[in-house]
Amino acid sequence: MKIYNTLTKKVEEIKPREAGKINLFVCGPTVYDFIHIGNARTFVFFDAFAKYLRSTGLDVEYVQNITDIDDRIITKAIVEKRVWSEIATQFEKTFIADMAALGVTAVSRYARATEHIPQVIEQVKKLRDGNHAYQAKDGWYFDVKTFKDYGKLSGRSTEMAEDGVSRIDDGVGKRNKADFCLWKFPLSADEPAWASEDLGPGRPGWHIEDTAITEHYFGPQYDIHGGGQDLIFPHHEAEIAQQEAASGLEPFVRYWMHVAFLVQQGGKMAKSKGNFTTVHRLTEQYSKETIRQYLFSAEYRSPLEFSDEALEPFKTAQDGLKKSLRRMAVYSKRGAFDVDAPDSAEKLSAIADEISAALADNFNTASAIGLWSGLVSQANQLIDEKKFDSKAYDVFKNIADDINAILGIIPEVSQIDIPSDVAGLIRQREEKRAGLDWAGADALRKDIEAKGYTLDDTPYGPILSET
Ligand code: AMP
């Protein structure tokens, strides 16, 4: 498969470092609040991507960190007069619940920053011993001038990095403006700190937890690192500097993948801007399949627009799909596919090949979803023309299962237990229809609808659905 590599700015074939194995790391959330649908775009994308890689036979070890110690958590704790770790625990729980509600199941291991403090300290010591880190008044800093490749991911030089960009640590007594903090000393008794004889008491800086965690699980070099595009600079640039300076080995990561923003009225959805919709709220309103179909509807390197109405067309599409799937299941039982149509399975398989090609080409979910909709339409058309045989139905179901295992966009269509009173109404209505009593049949249809069902008349008899 091919993906766009932010490091080389090219679409490249993925070649695992070790045959058959991929180590994948994706930056996780800072757990100080509910996550929003913008964060979810990145997490749901990599969930599907990891599932796809596994479907091709690769053994994928997917690690995601959880930033459970950070300035934003500490600030919230001070404002709300709570213990910082209680806030982290609370929002880690809501994050895990949100991921489950969105069908995100591909992560092999969630790694908390606070459970990797010894690894962080070790890495900072290595950088200090290699003269890449120095002590300032409020912590240990990485000296960007000691790393000649600084800027190779984002295309910035150390001078440009000094242009006062946001989220660069404002330390006291830094050598270069672009230097970033590795180990922060506590500035007050409210700030948590871990003991370290070598470094002094402190907590990890923003960037170091990720490289400490990945070195621990993957070693100093691995295959794929992902995240949202806002992380390219300074975060991922800092990770490269830390790990390559600490180990002397390059490349730290072979392939860097970045997901474009979910935007609202043209601007990035962000907690700091206050223009966000939480996953928690959205999953109460829409099914996970609807949300995922929406998130995959744009190619991952293009922005995706969000609004309160943005998911409605996807909900409508899901309802239509449910109807089609139900119709197929009922038709199959009623013998509608006992026809002679030797070409029908082949037609569907040809579209399935195109879907596979779209996913293999930089994981183009937008194109795959378009093709899948086309495949459902093709199947419906063949059914209407009585050119859909049971082999085609088996092929259709297999394709749907394969797509669903990766994208998770196909709703479950459960069998309806038809209550006996409704079954009686359907029977009576069939009798009225047989006697050409259309007014009587319509009245019975209304009775059925009043009980929470819709009825479709088909050439193979009526099909009941729940409304
Ligand atoms: P944070 O908790 O802010 O560090 O974000 C967690 C992840 O969500 C990171 O990979 C971010 O790049 C990603 N992210 C944040 N906002 C957006 C957005 N509006 N669209 C897509 N990804 C985002």
Pairwise CA distance, residues 435 & 457, whole Å: 16
Summary mean pLDDT of the chain: 95
Mean pLDDT of 382-401: 97
Confidence tier at 272 by pLDDT (50, 70, 90): confident
User: What pLDDT score was predicted for residue 161?
Assistant: 60
**Could you tell me the CA-to-CA distances from 414 to 214, 288, 406, 417, 466 in Å, in that order?**
42, 16, 21, 9, 10
309-350: per-residue pLDDT in tens? 999 999 999 999 999 999 999 999 999 999 999 999 999 999
User: What pLDDT score was predicted for residue 166?
Assistant: 46
Q: What are the CB-based long-range contacts (under 8 Å, 24+) for 281-288?
A: 282/37, 282/311, 283/98, 283/101, 283/102, 285/311, 286/311, 286/314, 286/315, 287/315, 287/318, 287/411, 288/101, 288/102, 288/103, 288/408
User: What pLDDT score was predicted for residue 38?
Assistant: 97
User: What pLDDT score was predicted for residue 160?
Assistant: 66
**Does ligand 1 come within 6 angstroms of the Cβ of 227?**
yes
User: What pLDDT score was predicted for residue 167?
Assistant: 53
Q: Where are the beta strands (DSSP E) in 17-154?
A: 21-26, 59-66, 109-112, 133-136, 139-142
**Does ligand 1 come within 6 angstroms of the Cβ of 30?**
yes
Mean pLDDT of 81-85: 96
Instruction: Inform me whether the pLDDT recorded for 452 exceeds 60.
Output: yes
Omega of the bond prior to 118 within 30 degrees of 0, cis? no
Instruction: Inform me whether the pLDDT recorded for 445 exceeds 90.
Output: yes
**Does ligand 1 come within 6 angstroms of the Cβ of 152?**
no
Centroid of ligand 1 to alpha carbon of 289 (angstroms):
21
Instruction: Inform me whether the pLDDT recorded for 163 exceeds 60.
Output: no
403 phi, psi to nearest 5 deg: -65, -45
C-alpha closest to that of 238 among 206, 198, 268: 206
C-alpha closest to that of 167 among 311, 305, 242, 70: 70
Mean pLDDT of 380-404: 97
User: What pLDDT score was predicted for residue 165?
Assistant: 47
Pairwise CA distance, residues 92 & 115, whole Å: 14
Nearest-atom index, ligand 1, CA of 29:
2
Instruction: Inform me whether the pLDDT recorded for 74 exceeds 70.
Output: yes
Count of CB atoms within 10 A of residue 148's CB? 12
Nearest-atom index, ligand 1, CA of 227:
10
**Does ligand 1 come within 6 angstroms of the Cβ of 268?**
yes
Centroid of ligand 1 to alpha carbon of 389 (angstroms):
46
Mean pLDDT of 386-397: 98
DSSP structure class, residue 30: B
Mean pLDDT of 47-54: 98
**Does ligand 1 come within 6 angstroms of the Cβ of 298?**
no
Instruction: Inform me whether the pLDDT recorded for 428 exceeds 60.
Output: yes
Closest C-alpha to ligand 1, atom 17? 38
By the 8 A CB rule, do 390 and 426 touch? no
Closest C-alpha to ligand 1, atom 1? 29
User: What pLDDT score was predicted for residue 164?
Assistant: 45
Instruction: Inform me whether the pLDDT recorded for 96 exceeds 80.
Output: yes
By the 8 A CB rule, do 217 and 246 touch? no
**Does ligand 1 come within 6 angstroms of the Cβ of 261?**
yes
Confidence tier at 168 by pLDDT (50, 70, 90): low
Instruction: Pick from 39, 63, 235 the residue to mutate for probing ligand 1's pocket: most ligand atoms within 8 Å of its CB.
Output: 39
Percent of the chain whose predicted confidence (pLDDT) is above 70: 97
197-233: per-residue pLDDT in tens? 999 999 999 999 999 999 999 999 999 999 999 999 9
By the 8 A CB rule, do 242 and 143 touch? no
H or E segment and range at residue 41 = helix 37-55
Instruction: Inform me whether the pLDDT recorded for 286 exceeds 80.
Output: yes
The overall pTM is greater than 0.75: yes
User: What pLDDT score was predicted for residue 152?
Assistant: 95
User: What pLDDT score was predicted for residue 159?
Assistant: 64
**Does ligand 1 come within 6 angstroms of the Cβ of 295?**
no
Mean pLDDT of 287-292: 98
Nearest-atom index, ligand 1, CA of 26:
10
Give Cβ neighbours of residue 430 (< 8 Å, ≥ 6 apart): 461, 462
Instruction: Pick from 206, 225, 230, 294 the residue to mutate for probing ligand 1's pocket: most ligand atoms within 8 Å of its CB.
Output: 230
**Does ligand 1 come within 6 angstroms of the Cβ of 235?**
no
Mean pLDDT of 367-386: 97
Nearest-atom index, ligand 1, CA of 260:
21
Nearest-atom index, ligand 1, CA of 35:
2
By the 8 A CB rule, do 253 and 27 touch? no
